[in-house]
């Protein structure tokens, strides 16, 4: 897939797809947020666990997406032992677009909908797996989508994904 090829799902198609499957969600538009530290006022007004998402590759060229609660510390030197990977580094923008259909700043577990070949191994922080409500970008960083735990699990089931649940802290 080339860099300029559009992903199968964008924000609108993702949200329509979830609605068509009865995956309950609440999406709120906001100014662009690029880093976890930004948008604290917004996050304070939205209940639930807010997330940080790391798109990584290892020395064997395997791709990884780690989604964790925003305050979870992820040590990239220790993470390989926890998730069963080789040494990790950040994946580049072209690979991120090709596999998840997102740009830097918009990385999200919801991007897995654009990876039907399961090229990306998905790792979920136990704090998110146990949270009542989780908040992810809906493929763009100008909105946040809140999902109940049941809705999140329904999303994973609908796309045929079983996350590797890991306790990072």
For 107-126, write each residue's pLDDT tens digit.
999 999 999 999 999 999 99
Domain boundaries of the chain, sorted by first residue:
11-166
* Nearest of 126, 127, 128, 134 to residue 151 by alpha carbon: 134
2 — pLDDT class (breaks 50, 70, 90): very low
CATH architecture of 11-166: Alpha-Beta Complex (3.90)
Interatomic CA distance for residues 3 and 28, integer angstroms: 28
For 74-91, write each residue's pLDDT tens digit.
999 999 999 999 999 999
Instruction: Determine contact, residues 148/107, Cβ cutoff 8 Å.
Output: no
pLDDT at 29 over 60: yes
Interatomic CA distance for residues 80 and 27, integer angstroms: 33
44 — pLDDT class (breaks 50, 70, 90): low
**pTM score, two decimals?**
0.90
5 — pLDDT class (breaks 50, 70, 90): low
State CA 132 to chain mean position distance. 17
Average pLDDT over residues 92-107: 94
Alpha-carbon separation of residue 70 from 51, 97, 128, 135 (angstroms): 5, 22, 10, 10
Q: What pLDDT does 34 receive?
A: 63
Interatomic CA distance for residues 30 and 150, integer angstroms: 25
Mean of all residue pLDDT scores within the chain: 91
């Amino acid at each position: 897939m080339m860099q300029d090829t559009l992903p199968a799902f964008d924000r609108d198609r993702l949200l329509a797809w979830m609605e068509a499957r009865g995956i309950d969600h609440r999406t709120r538009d906001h100014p662009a947020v690029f880093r976890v530290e930004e948008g604290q006022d917004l996050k304070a007004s939205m209940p639930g666990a807010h997330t940080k998402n790391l798109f990584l590759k290892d020395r064997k060229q395997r791709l990884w997406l780690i989604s964790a609660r925003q305050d979870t510390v992820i040590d990239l030197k220790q993470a390989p032992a926890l998730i069963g990977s080789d040494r990790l580094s950040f994946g580049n923008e072209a690979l991120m677009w090709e596999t998840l259909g997102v740009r830097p700043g918009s990385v999200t577990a919801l991007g897995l909908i654009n990876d039907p070949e399961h090229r990306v191994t998905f790792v979920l922080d136990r704090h998110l797996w146990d949270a009542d409500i989780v908040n992810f970008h809906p493929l763009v960083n100008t909105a946040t989508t809140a999902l109940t735990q049941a809705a999140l699990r329904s999303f994973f089931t609908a796309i045929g994904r079983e996350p590797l649940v890991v306790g990072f802290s």
